[in-house]
Amino acid sequence: MNENSEVTCLSAQILRHKALCDSLLDHLSRIELTRNTTVRVQLAVATADLALQYVGWEKPVEDVVEKLKTSSEHMLTLLEFLTALPEELNTSTIRIGENRRQYCREKYSNCGKQIHEILKSTNCSNELHKSPYDCLCDIFELCESYQKHWSFAVYLKQQITQYLCQPYSQAVIDENLDKAQDYTRIYTNLIESILECLVDGRQLDLSDLSCLHLLLYPLEHSDYEVVQSTLYTWYHLGELIQTNNEFIIDKVKSYMDKLVDVLCTQCKLDPDHLGIPPETDEKSSKNNGTSNSDLSEFRYRVQCFIEDTIYITGSLNCFQCLSSFSFLLFQKNLFFIYFKKMFDKLQSSSSLSWEEKMKRHFPNVIQAIISTPIQTGIVHTAIKYTGVRLISQLENWIAKNDQQILKSIIQYLLSLLVDKELRHISADTILIISQQGRKQLLNDLDQIIQATLWLDLIDNGSDAAQCLLKALSKIISRLTSIDDIHRYLKLLFDQQIQSITQILSTQSDTNYSSITKRLDCLTAIFKSLDFKTTHEEIHPCITIVQQFLPLLNLIIVRYRSLGKLSECWSCTIRFIIRSMRSHAKIFFQPIVELVISSYDDVPHSCFLYLISIIIDEYGNDQDLKSSIIVMSEHLTTKTFSILNKPDGFKENSDLVDFYRLSSRLLQRCPLEYRKSSVIQPIIEQIIPNYHLEHRDAKIKNKSELSEIRSLSMSLCETYISNLLTALIRAIVISHVPSSIRSSISEFVCEIKIYMSDKFPQWLQKSLTEIPRTSKNGLVEIVTSKQHEQFYKALCESDTQSSTIDYELETFAKLYR
C-alpha cells in the first residue's frame, strides 16, 4: 500500500465506486427485483446517476446493454435505464456541473437507435411500450441541435413517418388510450425538435412540411387529452410563422384549415344539452363539478389557440357565414371563435379592400344577433349567449359607428338581464362597450341606471350588478352638468349606504358576507369614477365619503378580526383615494388613525399596502410629511416586533408589503425618511433574508435597495459589498428562480453603473468567497478560465442587465 494518505484515499474511493457499479449491474439483472415497478425505476435512476457522476465508468451504456441483453425479460429494465439517462442528464437536481453535463450529452447521443425496433411493435404490453416512448422523447432534444446530429434527426424523421402511423391507427381501433397518447407524444416531440427547420427551410431533408400530417392523426381521437396534447406544437408553429416567415402561410394553411374544422367538431355539445355552454375559463372549468368540465377546459384551450392563430386561416369566411345567416347553423356547434385579435389586426391593416370586406359584414352580424327573440324557449340560450359574447368582441367597431345601432344593442342587452343565465355576460358586455363609448352612452343613461339599481337590489351585489355599477360610473364621469352628476351619484350611492345601514342594524356576527358584497360594490364604483376635476374645484364625491366614513368605522370596530372583510374595506379606501386623489386629503387623518389602530390589533398585510398607497398619493405634500414619517416609524416598530421573532420572516411572509411601503417613502419623502431612525435597521434586516424562497419579498427588497442606492452613496458603501456577495451566493448556491435572478441582475447592473469604481473590487471579493471545487476538493466545479471569463464579462463597461442575467445563469449552471 502506498504510504501517501491522499493516494490511498483516492484508491479506496475508486474501488468503492467500482464495487458500486458491479453491485448495481448485478441488481439490475435480478428479475425477482425488477418485476416490481418502483424497484426497477429506482435501480435504473441510480445506475444512470452513477454513470453521469462517476468519471471512471467509461462505458456505462455498453456495460448495461451487455449485462441485460441475454434475456427478453430484461428488456423493460434496459429501457428504464435508457429513459432515465437523458432525463437525469437534463435535470438540475443532479449536481455535476455544466462541463461534465455537456461531455455526457455528446458521449451518449447515439443510444436512441437501440430502441427503435420496439416502437414498431403493436403487440407489446402498454408497460413495455411506455419506456421506449419516454426514452425517445428525451432523445428528441438532441435533434434540436441538428447541426451536430443532422443524420440522426433525418433518420428518426424518416423512420417515424414511415413506420409509426399504422401502429397509431391500430391503437385507436383497439381503444388503447395509453398507446395512442404515447404515439401522439412521439409525433409532437418530433415536430417540435425540427420545427425551426420546417419554418425556415434551411435543411432540405428536415424542412418537408408533409410530416405535419402526423399531427392531424390525433385530432379526431375521442379523448380530449390526446387532441389537446397537439395544440402547443400547432401554436408554436404559428408563432414561428408570424415572427419569421409569413410567406409560408399558404403552405401551412391547408393543414390549419383541417385543424380548425376538426376542433370545431370536437367542441360540439350533446344535442340535449340545456343552458349555456360550460364556462370557457380555465379556472372556472377546473372548479366545475359537472360532467362537462373536461369539455369546458378543452373548449377554453381551443378558443385560446384559435385566437392566436386565426391570422393563418382568416376570419372572413366565418363572418360571411354569419352575415348570410347561417348563424343558427353555425351555432349548432355551440363554439365561439373570438375575432378580437383578428379585428385589431384589421384596424391597422394596409389592405383596405380586405378591411372593407370585413366591415361590410359587421352590421349584418350585429342585426342577426339583436333580432334573436329574447323569450325563453324560442331560441336556445347558448345561441343568445354566444351572440352576446361576439358583440363584446366588436366593441371598437360598435363605439365608432351609428348611434342607432349602439342604442339597439344596449336595449337588447338590458332586456337579457331578466335571464339569470345571461345576466352576467350581458352586464359584462355593457361594461366593455362603456369603456370604448362613454359619451355615446350618455343618452341611454336613465335606462342603464334603472336597470342597475333594479339588478343590484334583487341580486344583492352580484358580479353582474358590479359590472353595471362600473359601467354606470364610467358614463357618469363624462357628464358635464354638475347638477346631473350629483343627481346620478346620489341615486347610485344612496342604495349602497342604505343597504349597509340596514345590515349593520342587525346585531349579528354572521352578516359580514352581505357587508363584503356591499363594500365590493362601493369599490367597483370608486374604481371606475374618474372625474376631471381641478385642485380648485370641489370633488363631487366629498359629501358621499363624509356620509360613508362613520359606517366604515362601525364596520371596522365590529369585524376587525376578520381578514377577508379587512381586505375589502382596505380596498374600498384605496380606490376612494385613487379616485379623488388630492381631494381626499381632508380624510387623511381619520383614515390613517383607522388603519394604524387596526394594524396594531390585527397586523394584516393589506393595511401596509393601503398605507403605501396613501404615501404614494400624499408623500410629496409638505403639510403631511412629518405625519407620514411618524406613522412609518410606528409601523416599523410594530412590524419588526413580528419579523424579528425566530423564523418571523418565513412565517409572516405576507408582511413583505412593508418593503413596498418603505420604497414609497424613499420615493416620496427621501430626505425626511433618510433622517429617520428606521432606515439602517431595515437595510440590516434585508441582507440576511435574501436567501429565503419568497419571490415578492426579494423583488420588493431589491426595489427598496435601488431607492437607497440613489439616495445615499455613503449608505451604499457601508452595505452594498456584503449585499453583492449575498446576491451572487443566492444565485449560484441557493439556485433562486429565474424571475428573481432577473431582478437581481437589474440591481447588480445599477450598482455597476452608479459605483463603477468600487464594483470590480466588490465582485472580486464575492467570487473569492464562493467555492470553486467540491466539498472534498477532488472535483473542480469551475475552472480558472471560466472564473476569469465571468469576472471580465460582468466588469465590461457596456454590460447590460440582460447580459448580466445571462452570465449569472451560465455561471450558476456550473454548480448544479
Q: For position 130, what pLDDT does the model report?
A: 62
Instruction: Classify residue 473: in a domain, yes or no.
Output: yes
Residues 317, 324: contact at Cβ < 8 Å?
Answer: no
pLDDT band of 138, cuts 50, 70, 90: low
Residues 435, 395: contact at Cβ < 8 Å?
Answer: yes
pLDDT in tens, 473-520: 999 999 999 999 999 999 999 999 999 999 988 866 667 888 999 999
Instruction: Classify residue 505: in a domain, yes or no.
Output: no
Residues 259, 330: contact at Cβ < 8 Å?
Answer: no
Instruction: Classify residue 383: in a domain, yes or no.
Output: yes
- Which residue do the cell numbers 342603464 mark? 448
The last residue of a domain, from among 478, 494, 523: 478
pLDDT in tens, 257-277: 888 888 877 877 776 777 776
Is the pLDDT assigned to residue 629 strictly greater than 50?
Answer: yes
Nearest-CA neighbor of 100 among 56, 63, 134, 140? 56
* Average pLDDT rounded to a whole number, residues 95-111: 73
pLDDT band of 14, cuts 50, 70, 90: low
Instruction: Classify residue 133: in a domain, yes or no.
Output: no
Is the pLDDT assigned to residue 668 strictly greater than 50?
Answer: yes
DSSP state, residue 325: T
Question: Among 42-46, 96-100, 405-409, 420-424, whose mean pLDDT is lowest?
Answer: 96-100
Q: Which residue has the higher pLDDT, 390 or 462?
A: 462
Is the pLDDT assigned to residue 4 strictly greater than 80?
Answer: no
Rounded distance, CA 414 to CA 411, Å? Answer: 5
* Average pLDDT rounded to a whole number, residues 726-752: 84
Q: Which residue has the higher pLDDT, 698 or 580?
A: 580
Burial state string for 204-236 with b = 16 or more CB within 10 A and e = fewer than 16: eebbeeebbebbebbbebebbebbbbbbebbee
Instruction: Classify residue 395: in a domain, yes or no.
Output: yes
- Which residue do the cell numbers 427598496 mark? 704
pLDDT in tens, 754-805: 788 888 888 888 888 888 887 767 678 888 888 888 998 888 867 688 888 8
End-to-end CA distance of the chain: 36
* Average pLDDT rounded to a whole number, residues 454-476: 93
The last residue of a domain, from among 478, 495, 522: 478
pLDDT band of 146, cuts 50, 70, 90: low
Instruction: Classify residue 366: in a domain, yes or no.
Output: yes
Instruction: Domain of residue 736: give its range.
Output: 714-816
| Number of domains within the chain | 2
Rounded distance, CA 405 to CA 301, Å? Answer: 33
pLDDT in tens, 344-390: 444 444 444 545 655 666 787 788 888 888 887 777 787 788 889 88
pLDDT band of 315, cuts 50, 70, 90: low
* Helix 97-107, helix 801-813: angle, nearest 10: 70
Residues 471, 430: contact at Cβ < 8 Å?
Answer: yes
The last residue of a domain, from among 462, 478, 494: 478
Q: For position 708, what pLDDT does the model report?
A: 46
Task: Report the percentage of the chain scoring pLDDT > 70.
Answer: 77
Instruction: Classify residue 333: in a domain, yes or no.
Output: yes
Write out 730-794 in H/E/C secondary structure.
HHHCCCCCHHHHHHHHHHHHHHHHHCCCCHHHHHHHHHHCCCCECCCCCCECCCHHHHHHHHHHH
Q: For position 19, what pLDDT does the model report?
A: 72
Overall size of the chain counted in residues: 816
Instruction: Classify residue 536: in a domain, yes or no.
Output: no
* Average pLDDT rounded to a whole number, residues 161-186: 85
What are 773's strand-pairing partners?
Answer: 780
Instruction: Quote the mean pLDDT of the chain.
Output: 79
pLDDT band of 593, cuts 50, 70, 90: very high
